[in-house]
A and B are shown apart, each in its own frame.
Chain A
């Protein structure tokens, strides 16, 4: 199955600033998924990123707040813009693992906004 390198692993940011999270996959994949996990909660899909087209956002998430880039089939970034303490969460990227496998997840970015 695919291996994902996600960074940074954690960060503490000032409110009003932006953070860009990177995910690098060791193989070419069509879809990449970005999830948010708020403290003590489950995972919620933010958006699906396809190479060569704009990301598709889920209800409650907008491009101005969470811009996504997908320049090629192995890389994607998620930016958390104009951060507030409510954005403190773990952000994870994910790709399909292939036949017989589950979805592979990055190790996550633990974001704290102060």
Chain B
């Protein structure tokens, strides 16, 4: 069965600090996708990244970076030089290809608060 674990329920950092949000997943599929979404206080879900199971290259997009390690089943997300606008709930999610379900399984989310 699939599972996504975000052990950090809440994190607070001071502006300009770096912060890493952890995500550990479980799946029996060999082909799957991993995602990160941001949910600001307004409530909408903002897509951040999609990574397939065959691509373990780390990715950087501005202040955001992602570290995918299949050996530890982790897909961690780092925000560099955090800003107040980064305050939100961040969800890690998994989509299994081989089961054909196509839907997303979400972790419980990490609430990030960036203090000015």
Across the interface, A42 reaches (CB within 8 A) one of B35, B43, B91, B103, namely B91
Q: Give the total number of A-B pairs whose CB atoms are below 8 A apart.
A: 49
State A38–B19 Cα separation when bound (angstroms): 27
Cα distance A110–B43 in the bound complex, in angstroms = 9
A108 and B103 within 8 A (CB): no
User: In whole angstroms, what is the CA distance A47 to B50 when docked?
Assistant: 22
Shortest CB–CB separation between residue A43 and chain B, in angstroms? 5
**Choice from A41, A103, A104 contacting B108 with Cβ under 8 Å:** A41
**Is B13 among interface residues, defined by CB-CB distance under 8 A?**
no
Q: Is A100 interfacial (CB-CB < 8 Å)?
A: yes
Interface string of A20-64 (1 = CB under 8 A from B): 000000000001010000000111110010000000000000000
Q: B101 — which chain A residues lie within 8 A by C-beta?
A: 48
In the assembled complex, the Cα of A49 lies from the Cα of B35 at a distance in Å of 22
Interface residues on A, range: 20 to 34
- With A102-B35, A103-B35: A42-B106 Cβ-Cβ less than 8 Å: yes
- Identify the stretch in A69-77, A78-86, A91-99 within 8 Å (CB) of chain B at 4 or more residues: A91-99
Total interface residues on B, using CB and 8 Å?
Answer: 20
| Complex contact A103–B43 (CB within 8 A) | no
B14 within 8 A of A: no
Residue from the list B44, B102, B106, B108 in contact with A31, Cβ < 8 A: B102
Can you list 19 residue pairs at the A/B interface with Cβ under 8 Å? A1-B47, A31-B102, A33-B103, A33-B104, A41-B108, A42-B106, A43-B104, A45-B105, A90-B43, A97-B47, A101-B50, A102-B35, A102-B37, A102-B49, A103-B95, A104-B47, A107-B43, A107-B44, A108-B45
Extra contacts, 8 of them, besides A45-B104, A102-B48, A103-B35 (Cβ < 8 A), are: A42-B106, A42-B109, A43-B106, A92-B45, A94-B104, A100-B50, A104-B47, A107-B43
